[in-house]
Amino acid sequence: MEQAFKEITQWTDGATQVNHTYLLSGDKMLAYIRLGTTEPFWFKKPITISRSGRKFEPVDSAQFTGSFNVLTPSDVVEVQGSKGQVYFVNTTEKTCTCPGYTYRGDCKHVKA
């Protein structure tokens, strides 16, 4: 299940890290919104994010004018999987956030 989180890590030792807001599905990052912007950057394929030494807080969907999905590009659509899961399909790039596409590079959601 996808959830939006804002990173609240207090970086030490003079680190110049910047905290962003992330759309995560388990330990996979689907997209992020850079600090100070409202436009999400979508990854072609979900990437693994390490939570080690980092702190996050769930984001109230009202902060995104209703939900994170409001900010998705017009070529990204939400689809429901066979067991009720929600995935995102980029219809232009023919990618999907489901496990089938992640592991095989192909799935029924992209073909539909």
Question: What are the tens digits of pLDDT across the range 13-69?
Answer: 666 677 888 888 778 888 888 887 777 777 778 888 888 888 988 885 444 433 344
Quick: pLDDT tens for 66-80. 334 444 556 778 888
Query: In 10 A of CB 87, how many CB atoms?
Result: 21
Q: Helix, strand or coil for residue 109? A: helix
**pTM check: above 0.75:** no
* 48 class by beta-carbon count within 10 Å (0-12 exposed, 13-18 middle, 19+ buried): exposed
